[in-house]
Amino acid sequence: MSLCINPYCLQQQNSDDELFCLYCGSELLLQGRYRVINQLGGGGFGITYKVSEIRSNNLKVLKVLINTQQKAVELFKQEAEVLAKLNHPGIPKVEPDSYFVYFPRNSHQPIHCLVMEKIVGMDLQKWMENREMRPIHQTLAIQWLKELVTILNRVHSQNFFHRDIKPSNIMLRADGDLALIDFGTVRQVTGTYQAKIAAGQNITGIISTGYTPPEQINQNKESAVYVHNNGAGTIENCDLTGNALSFNIDTTSQVRRSGNKEDNPNS
C-alpha cells in the first residue's frame, strides 16, 4: 500500500504501483525514492509515517510538519540540521538531503518533510508501563544512565541541548541499547542565549511535568549540561525504583516563556 500525505485527501490509500494518488492526484513517490506505508502517530505540530526507501527497501520515519507558522518551520528546519550534525548511534541518523518540501496537487502551501532513521524498539514510558512499573536492577539503571550521558555529551559537544528529556523520548532498541529521539525543541547554546539568561530576559522553555529540572523551569543560570544530566538522573530514578508518580502525572510537553506565569503553547 502507498499512502498519500495530502492532508486534504479523502482517500489516501493507494496500491504500490501508483505514482499519483487516484483520488487527489498528489505524488506518491516522494523525492523519487520514498513510499509512505502507514501513519505512526500525530500531534498538534506534525504527523509521523513509516516509509520505505524503494532502492534499498530500508524502513525509515517521515516526519511531516502540520503547523505552518514561521517559528514552527524554523524549529523543524533546525531539527533537520542538528540531526545531520549529530552522528551518534544513540541518535536517529539523518542524511543531508533528508529535509524537503512537498506540494500536494493543486496546492501552493508547501508541506515540510524530514526523513530519518527508524529506531526499532519501544520508548521507556511504554516499556515501564508494560512491566507494570516494576523496578529495574541497579546494574541496568547505571548502564542506561551511562548511555544517556554519552549521548548527551555528543549533543553538548555541538553546543546544543535537547530540552525535553523524558521516558517517552528515549527508545529502548531491540538489542538493549538506548536512543534519544524527538529533537524538535533542541536549542543552540549561543553567546546571545547565555546573555539573555544572565540578563533575565524572556526565553522560551519546554516543560515536561515531572521530568524538567527546576533549573530549566526557572531559567536559572545553570549550565545546560547540569540540567540535562539532572533530567537523565530523574528518569533513571523512576526506572530503578518503579515509582509511578512521574508516570501517572501529565507528562505532556508545554512551552513556557520565562517571566510569564501562564504556559502558552503559542509563544
- Angle at alpha carbon of residue 12, lines to 107 and 183, rounded to 5°: 75
123 part of the active site: no
Q: Tell me the backbone φ, ψ of residue 197, rounded to 5 degrees.
A: -65, -45
Domains in the chain (CATH in brackets) are 11-117 (3.30.200.20), 121-257 (1.10.510.10)
Q: What pLDDT does 165 receive?
A: 86
**Cα pseudo-dihedral 54, 87, 148, 75, rounded to 10:** -80
How far is residue 98's CA from residue 30's CA, in Å, rounded to a whole number? 11
Q: What pLDDT does 60 receive?
A: 97
> Which one from 17, 97, 123, 164 is the annotated catalytic residue?
164
Q: What pLDDT does 192 receive?
A: 57
The helix or strand, by DSSP H or E, that contains position 101, with its residue range, turns out to be strand 99-102
Q: Give 10-residue mean pLDDT values along the chain (267 residues).
A: 94 96 97 96 86 95 92 91 92 93 92 96 94 91 92 90 87 95 79 56 51 49 46 51 42 38 33
Beta partners for residue 14, in sequence order: 2
Q: What is the 3-state secondary structure (H, E, C) of 118-168?
A: CCCEEEHHHHHHHCCCCCCCHHHHHHHHHHHHHHHHHHHHCCEECCCCCHH
